Amino acid sequence: MSDLIKHDISEDCVCGPTAVPVERPDGSVVWNYVHHSLDGREQREDTS
């Protein structure tokens, strides 16, 4: 889906992504950045 901006693929993105640790099968940990929309779609989504 598109958003109001193009998101950077780094932690420096203007949306203020959340870093989430993800453990791999070999026990190592990588970081996944979860980006946030700037068009307000989270507030319009039905969570019921």
pLDDT digits (tens, 9 = 90+) for 6-33: 777 777 888 888 889 999 999 999 998 8
Domain of 23?
13-37
Task: Examine residue 23 and state whether it is found in any structural domain, yes or no.
Answer: yes
Task: Examine residue 32 and state whether it is found in any structural domain, yes or no.
Answer: yes
Number of domains in the chain: 1
Give the pLDDT band (50/70/90) at residue 35.
confident
> What's the Cα-to-Cα distance from 39 to each of 16, 20, 25, 42, 48, rounded to whole Å?
14, 22, 36, 8, 21
pLDDT at 47: 56
Task: Compute the radius of gyration of the chain from its Cα atoms.
Answer: 14
| CB contact at 8 A, 31 and 20 | yes
H or E segment and range at residue 20: strand 18-23
pLDDT at 27: 96
Please list the residues that pair with 14 across neighbouring strands: none
